[in-house]
Each structure stands twice: as structure tokens, then as C-alpha cells.
Structure 1
Amino acid sequence: MLRLAYAMLTYLFVPVLIGHLYWRSINNPPYRQRIGERFGRAGQQTDKSSIWIHAVSVGEVQAAATLIHALLKRYPGRQLIVTTMTPTGAERVSDLFGDAVIHSYVPYDLAGAVRRFFDWAKPELVIIIEKEIWPNLFRECGLRNIPLVLASARISTRSARRYRHLVGLFRETLSHGIVIAAQSEVDASRFMSLGVNPKRIHVTGNIKFDFALDPLVPGLGAAFRNDNAAGRPIWVAASTHGDEEQIVLAAHKKILVSFPNALLLLVPRHPERFVSVAALISKAGLSGVTRSSGRQCTADNSVYLGDSMGELMTFYAAADVAFVGGSLLRHIGGHNLLEPAALGLPLLTGPYYSNAPDIADLMIMDGALQVINNADEMVTHVIALFGNPDECQRRGGAGQAVVDNNRGTLMRVLELIEPLMVRASR
């Protein structure tokens, strides 16, 4: 009964979904492109069976990158299809894999759209990264006897509470022969509470730890620093959201009192906000330069706006200290701490890091990550780190150790996938 009610409600929401796409496209035109794919009408043709990997957006694509590369190497006869929900995720797929995979937007969880997509993709195996749970998609896997793996799977406290209100629906959704590769014991217990057979749950860790750091990045960061801010202390505020930039800019104005030549690299999370964030810099009375302008930073510029895609790691590599955004806002829950940690940066985060609590807790415990609650605390810690290079190095080294000591999830996930692929080939 719940499944039927869900199926009917999804169709009632179609006008809302279309309206949402067009609303997002006002500032981000790619949202009005390839709309047919979101209703199961994929564009590029494929004539062979596939492995389908779904990664909702940029962060999940980045997390899945090592897994996708490994699958390409292990199963060269299969077509890999990678789906995302966002255009930025689509762009990242193109940047990382080029023509080695087919990209499509994931279909909305409408029964008809999902069936059309499965008919087109002909998947032998479906892998979903982290936290996407879609009743119609999961049911279609069960009806077609297609193995489904939730890789690096997690359920936040907030999601667990929400799912419990519809436990009957999710118990059915998660009963279709799904294999759960959970990030932690806590995540495993939450999946069990939703009705997943414990025999199908494996604690494999967080696949984000296994990301491959591009060996060119440190050199690119050093070159950027030499060209734009040689001899200056630099901090980066990365993946920031609305309301966070004002806090960061207010903090930077106070930091300039103690370090007049300090440079802030400000990198908003969403490209449609680049223009408005540039206006915020001017409104704050700070002199900024944008990446898109092609101009180098001068001594008169105290803020560099990273209004480009795919260069965040370069900005991290150029900096001395990193604040990872999305963490001053409860409804966001933070972003990737591992990338700056792998580069040896001491890290700051706001109090809201529910997207990766285990990673954050490890880094806090080992002294790599400092939690700050407001602009004044941000100022205090950035100034302290600028003034103590040895402490910067110690904390940065602690973060690198956390990353290195927790690798290995990729191989554990591949070991779970191998027998499923053997079964699918019969």
C-alpha cells in the first residue's frame, strides 16, 4: 500500500520537478538541457550490457573516481554508465573520465522513467554511492534480478529519523537483494533498523579515503602561489554557501589587522553564485580579483575569488590553512575534509559536519581539525596558525596520517562486487 501511494505521489510531483529545473536554470542554464534523460529518455545509444554507477553530484563523483577507474580496468568488456543529478557532477564526470564512460542524468524516481532507463542501460550491476535511496529504482533492480550495491553507504541521524516515519516503505525498498557496503558500524546498525538483512551488510569503510591525489597538484599550487601571492600568508575558504561568505569576509578583515598582507582564496560551492559572491567582496570593502578575469593578484588585492570549476585542489595546494565550508549551516552538513588533509593543511570546520561525522571525529581526535562556531573563532585560529608554522606542519601532518591510515575501502568494495559480476555473467 505504501509503495503504491509513493508511486502515485511521485507522478503528482512531476510539475514541481519541471518547475524546479527551470528555476535552477535561471542562474545555471545546464539545468534546462537534457531534460529527457531525467525522465528515462537517455540520449547516447549503448548496445551492450553495462555497470551503472550513480553519484549524485561533484563530491560523490570524486569519491567514486577510484572505484570507476578500477572497474574500467577489471571489466573492460562492460560499458560503464555514470549518472549524476547535477550539471556540476556531469562536468566532473567528463573531466575525470572523458569518453571512457557514458554519462546520463539519473531518472527521477517515477516508475515509467526508471523502467525506460533500465531498458536502455541494460545494467548487470548497479552501484549507488553513499546515500541515495529510491524505492522505484531499487524495486526495478529486484524485479529484474539485478544486483544492487550501496557503496560507502551511510545514513545520517536526520535521514534515519525521517526514514523511520515510513519504515514500511523503506523496509520493502531495502529488501530487494541489496548489498550494503557501510561506512561504519553506526551506519550498519541504522540500515538494520530499516529492515535490511544483517547478512547483506558489510562494514567496508569510507571510499573517500582511497582517492588518488593528482601528483601534479602540489606543483600547480606552488606555481599559483608564486605568481599571485609569493611571500604572503594564505588561507582558503572552500565550498562555501550563502551566509557563510559574509562570515568569512568579516573574519578576513580582522585577520588583515594582524597580517596586512594575508590573502583569502574564496571558493563558493555553486557556480551560479560566483557573481553574487564577487559583489559581496566589494560590498565588504575588500579588494578582490577573480580567476575568470585572468588577472594576477597584486599586493593591493586581499581576496582571490576562485570562480572556476575543477581547480579547488590547486587552491588548497597554494594555501597555508583551510576552512571547509557548508559546515556553518546545519542544513548542509559540511563538505570534503580529506582533500585538503591529504595536502597537509591544518583544517577548520564549522560545528555542522553531519555529512562525514566519522572523518571529522577522527581528525578532531588526532589534532588535524579545529571546530569553530563564528567569525571571531575563525580569526583566532587562522591568526594563531599563521604565526606558528611548526603548529601548521604538525596539524597538517596529522591530517595526512588520518588519510593514509584509513585507506583500503576500495579493495573491500571490489571484493564484494566480484561474485556479483560472476553471477551476472552466467
Structure 2
Amino acid sequence: MLTRLPYTLLWLLALPFVLLRLLWRARRQPDYLKHVGERFGRYRVRAPGRVIWVHAVSVGETRAAEPLVRALLAQWPEHAVLLTHMTPTGRATSKALFGDEARVLRVYLPYDLGWLARRFLHHFRPSLGVIMETELWPNLLAACRRLQVPTMLANARLSERSARRYARVPALTSLTLGALDAIGAQTAGDAVRLRALGARRVTVTGNIKFDVAPTPAAEARGATFRARIGARPVLLAASTREGEEALLLAAFAQHAPPDCLLALVPRHPQRFDEVAGAVKAAGLGLQRRSDEAEVAASTRVWLGDSMGEMFSYYLAADVALIG
């Protein structure tokens, strides 16, 4: 408890600014103001029975968790799977992946204060918890340990830079990692770094993202995309972020053959219009995927303004650039 006290005090001091940040982000993505009570451990939904909890903070982690969630549903048919997120896009992704599957619930994980973590665990009473990649919340994991909820880190990754950052608070990091019952690391290097920081029972399991397979619907959609584009070469810029598109567009305009089409898919949906404006400012012919139209020969950039269709974009492309 004393080891976590400075961390908890920092959270208390930061909480007003965290709420202001929610308001700030809601200016561009209003969904940040939905389900705010869940971020404080207040939930309206309840699981119909026993629960396996999987935490996937945002889009990438949610997509990576898909094969795991499907395996859990098949292996334990008497359990529901509770997916927790921190972003609206993560939540929307789980909705797109699992639709109205009655055994999959989705909520926000509360902020990492002890009483909020306990409120979350008392409400859903998970049989076990699986945290994707490297979401290490000291108070949450301490609450899991205290309430005897077995918890593991899956698809765990830890870069050398992140390891150095965690090493600055060795007591807190060792305590937090020690609260995990098992860790499945992506690579041997990740495992070495995790063990050096105090992790126990670390196994190299590989990257679960390689277990994700396109659905027949995604394959059919990819074929449709390709038919709309035609025979011209397609360069896909996948999951781009702010600051990347301007560089990509300038390089594409200068170096790409005139018949090449750039399929540009921003990572965050709230930026679709912003990126469309950047394409026009670069003087490149633009079409949107949402127009559902054939791609004209004069179009240089096809904007992927959709969610949950990344497999289809990959299937339609000749070369992919992943930021």
C-alpha cells in the first residue's frame, strides 16, 4: 500500500485534468462524453452469469484480442466475456467485431484508483482477467490480487525504452508485475525485459495478432474494393496518425507513378474530414470509400473513411505501408 501511495496521490491530483482532457477530446469526438459514469465504476449492465474479463485499451488491442475472445467463448460456453476499453474507438471496434453477441459485453475500465477498481470488480465479479499487451495499472492489479481474481498479461510487449521508464520506479513496477499470475510475452526480448523488472511466470507465446484471420465477409468486401479500383496499382497507407498524412501526400505526389492509387486510411475516425482537407490542399484528386462509387481514373487518393474494414483494404492493395 505504501509503495502505491505516491502513485495514487498523483492520480488524485491529476483527476481534474483527466476530466478536462475528456472534455477537450470530446470537441472532436463527442463519444468521449458517453458512459462517463463507467470511468468511475458506475455500470448499468450486468453479466447474465459467470464472467471472463478481457481488457483491450483501444483499437489495436481490441483487434488483437478477437481470436482470444472467440476461443474463450468456445472453450467456456457458460461464461460471458466482458471487454473493457479506454477509448470510444476501441469500444466501437469491439461492437463491429462481435455485433450483438449476447455473451460479449463492453464497458469502460475505471480510472486507476483503488476504490474504483474494487467497485468494478465487485460489480462484475470476473472469474479471471486477461489484460492485452502492456496495460499495467498498479491499483487495479492490487485489487485483483486482494479479491483473488487471477489475472494475466497476454500478448505482452515491452520495448527497451518502456523498460527504462518502468525501471525508474523499481519498487512499484516489481509490485505491479508481481501481482500478475502469468504473462504471455510476444518475443524472447520482451520476456527478458519483463523478468528483469520483476515479472514472474513469463512464457513466450508469440504475437496473437498472427492468429487473426479475415472473415469471408471481409474477403468479399476486399474483392469489391478491388473491382471498384480496377487494374491500377494500389498503395495502402494504413492506420495513419496526425502529422503522417502530410508527409505521405507530399512524397506520393512527387514520386508515385501517375496511375498509382493511394488508399489512405486514418486510424481515428474523427480525423476523416481533416485528412480529406489535407488531400485537397495537396492538389490530389480525392474520393471517399463511403461514396460507394467506382474509383475514377483521375482519382489519386481514395480515403478509407470507414471502421472495421482494414482487412478489406489490405486485400485490395498491392503494397501496404503501416505507420
Q: State the TM-score bracket (shorter-chain normalisation).
A: over 0.9
Aligned-partner residue type, residue 183 of structure 2:
I
Alignment partners' CA distance in 2, 1:219 and 1:50: 34
SS in 1 for 2:72: helix
Counterpart check, 1:112 vs 2:115: yes
Aligned to 1:146: 149
Aligned to 2:261: 263
Aligned to 1:274: 272
SS in 2 for 1:247: helix
Counterpart check, 1:247 vs 2:247: yes
Shift in Å, 1:222: 2.3
Aligned-partner residue type, residue 202 of structure 1:
T
Aligned to 2:66: 65
SS in 2 for 1:123: coil
Aligned to 1:166: 169
* CA offset digits 1:323-369 (Å, max 9, x no partner): 112xxxxxxxxxxxxxxxxxxxxxxxxxxxxxxxxxxxxxxxxxxxx
Alignment partners' CA distance in 2, 1:15 and 1:321: 45
Aligned to 2:288: 290
Shift in Å, 1:112: 1.6
Aligned residues: 320
Counterpart check, 1:9 vs 2:10: yes
Superposition pairs of residues 397-412 of structure 1, within 5 angstroms: none
Shift in Å, 1:195: 1.5
Counterpart check, 1:135 vs 2:133: no
Q: Does the CA-based 8 Å contact 1:50-1:122 persist in structure 2?
A: yes
Alignment partners' CA distance in 1, 2:8 and 2:258: 59
* Identical-residue share of aligned pairs (%): 45
Q: Does the CA-based 8 Å contact 2:129-2:149 persist in structure 1?
A: yes
Alignment partners' CA distance in 2, 1:255 and 1:39: 50
* CA offset digits 1:265-296 (Å, max 9, x no partner): 11111111111111111110111011233443
Aligned to 1:49: 50
Alignment partners' CA distance in 1, 2:92 and 2:266: 17
Q: Does the CA-based 8 Å contact 1:255-1:262 persist in structure 2?
A: no
Aligned to 1:122: 125
Shift in Å, 1:47: 5.0
Alignment partners' CA distance in 2, 1:95 and 1:287: 30
Shift in Å, 1:254: 2.4
SS in 1 for 2:178: coil
Aligned to 2:238: 238
* CA offset digits 1:115-162 (Å, max 9, x no partner): 110011101101001111000011011101111110111111121011
Gap regions ≥5 residues in structure 1: 326-426
1:195 to 189, 195, 198: 198
Gap regions ≥5 residues in structure 2: none
Counterpart check, 1:301 vs 2:304: no
SS in 2 for 1:272: helix
SS in 1 for 2:231: coil
Q: Does the CA-based 8 Å contact 1:46-1:120 persist in structure 2?
A: no
Aligned-partner residue type, residue 46 of structure 1:
A
Alignment partners' CA distance in 2, 1:294 and 1:215: 20
Q: Does the CA-based 8 Å contact 2:57-2:87 persist in structure 1?
A: yes
Aligned to 1:317: 315
Aligned to 1:366: none
Q: Does the CA-based 8 Å contact 1:236-1:319 persist in structure 2?
A: yes
Aligned to 2:220: 219
Alignment partners' CA distance in 2, 1:287 and 1:175: 54
Aligned residues: CA RMSD: 1.4
The more displaced of 23-32 and 311-320 is 311-320
Alignment partners' CA distance in 1, 2:93 and 2:12: 30
* CA offset digits 1:146-196 (Å, max 9, x no partner): 111101111111210110010111111122252111112211111111112
SS in 1 for 2:12: helix
TM-score (norm 2): 0.95
Alignment partners' CA distance in 2, 1:316 and 1:50: 34
Aligned-partner residue type, residue 28 of structure 2:
N
Alignment partners' CA distance in 2, 1:154 and 1:58: 16
TM-score (norm 1): 0.73
Aligned-partner residue type, residue 307 of structure 2:
M
Alignment partners' CA distance in 2, 1:129 and 1:280: 34
Alignment partners' CA distance in 2, 1:20 and 1:126: 28
Q: Does the CA-based 8 Å contact 1:60-1:130 persist in structure 2?
A: yes
Aligned-partner residue type, residue 260 of structure 1:
P
Alignment partners' CA distance in 2, 1:170 and 1:43: 33
Does the C-alpha gap of structure 1 residues 177 and 281 become closer, same or farther in structure 2, counting only changes over 3 Å?
closer
Shift in Å, 1:213: 2.2
